[in-house]
Amino acid sequence: MTAGVVVVGAGHAAGEFTFRLRQNGFAGPITLIGDEPHLPYQRPPLSKTFLAGEIDTQSLLLRPQKSYDAANITFMGGALVEKIDRAAHTVTLGGGATHRYEKLVLATGGRARPLNCPGATLAGVHTLRSIGDVEAIRANLQPEKRLVIIGGGYIGLEVAAIAIKHGLHVTLLEAAPRVLARVAGLEISAFYEKAHREAGVTIHTNAMVERLEESAGRPGHVGAVTLAGGQTFPADFVVAGVGLLPNVELAVQAGLKVENGIWVDEHCRTEDFDVLAIGDCSNHPSAFLGRRVRLESVPNALEQARVAADTICGNLVPYGAIPWFWSDQYDLKLQAVGMSENYDQVVQRGDMGARAFTMFYLRKGVVIAADSVNRAADFMAAKRIVGAAMGVEAAVLEDISRPLKELIPKQR
């Protein structure tokens, strides 16, 4: 049997990659190996509509089983790859079975960073990364329950929004001076903190968790969270959203270069050109940022999947995507493009009080990033403006009477 392509990991990147490979005319065997029993599914809705119970597991799937059957893609769920033998071109599964590959694609993603403090392993302490994680959290979404969320990033704030809607008492603890500190500018952080407080979430910043306390009435179960300063918050359960660890262990075992992710070139190839890496686990060169970066985003995973499929089919098109992200909280849709770092000017377009505005971040007059809240047209134009590294005057950006799309040169 021809070795074909083996994909380790079954998330967004893997799902997109396998079908792109077929669309490109690849006729050899494709084997998709995932440690979860589920076919590749969407992760962003996990902390949003799926947690809220508005959609079911089937709705999360990128494609149904019949699509994989039609494309002749073999899916192996609930299977763990334990070893890569690059010399023999094989991967070994937990049960000892081996699979040969011509090309190997590591789409191993990441796992939720665990809390590193006493009491972190108590029952009732949750992270959110998989369908199973959400099902466990959702069982606790009952009115009047006390939820303590550790971490004020996208996951923490999205869980807070859902929990408040379900009538829980929600306390959010963030170690940094502001929420969304790693991903948004000061103005956006202040806006979202205010929105959550108004919705009923209690927020503490500069809050360093020291330990999780055992419940007096439920041995082995969490009962409270204590900060370094001694302040204690009662908790019926805890959700930790303190970041993601890339799953790079297989790459390390195989002797591939790893440093904040699996190092790849602009074509998603590792130092061994028969092994590629895509998605949250990969560290790639970004022409836009002018440096290497590991991005945790669905758009990045999808774009890298396409690049990798093209690479395997001999079409060497370099990765050149602009980073962008989104988050849904209450009636607020945040859409962000670029990276709001090292900027020297901030320009607001629209009305923050009306909960519909865009913040532009400029460096030396050039728009390098934008955060849009409930202004989808602004965001679509901002993607083009940021991608083109356009210089735009503040007065023009502020003028809501002038559509931003007018600033974009017409393509001939």
Mean pLDDT by 10 residues, the chain (412 residues): 87 97 96 96 94 95 96 96 97 94 97 96 97 96 97 96 97 97 91 97 98 95 96 98 96 97 98 98 94 94 97 94 93 94 93 96 95 95 93 93 84 54
Q: Helices then strands (H, E): number in the chain?
A: 10, 26
Look up residue 398 and give its two tokens. Answer: 């502020």
The predicted structure's pLDDT at residue 340: 87
Q: What residues form DSSP beta bridges with 127?
A: 240
Please give the single-letter amino acid code of residue 161.
A
The predicted structure's pLDDT at residue 1: 45
The predicted structure's pLDDT at residue 411: 59
* Distance separating alpha carbons of residues 336 and 301, to the nearest angstrom: 16
Where do the domains of the chain lie, and which CATH numbers do they carry?
5-111+244-312 (3.50.50.60), 125-240 (3.50.50.60), 331-407 (3.30.390.30)
The predicted structure's pLDDT at residue 185: 87
**Cα angle value 201/129/76 (rounded, 5°):** 160
- By C-alpha distance, which of 38, 34, 133, 15 is closest to 91? 34
The predicted structure's pLDDT at residue 149: 98
The predicted structure's pLDDT at residue 405: 87
Name the pTM for this structure: 0.94
The predicted structure's pLDDT at residue 2: 63
* Tokens 């789409």, located at residue: 107
The predicted structure's pLDDT at residue 137: 97
The predicted structure's pLDDT at residue 409: 73
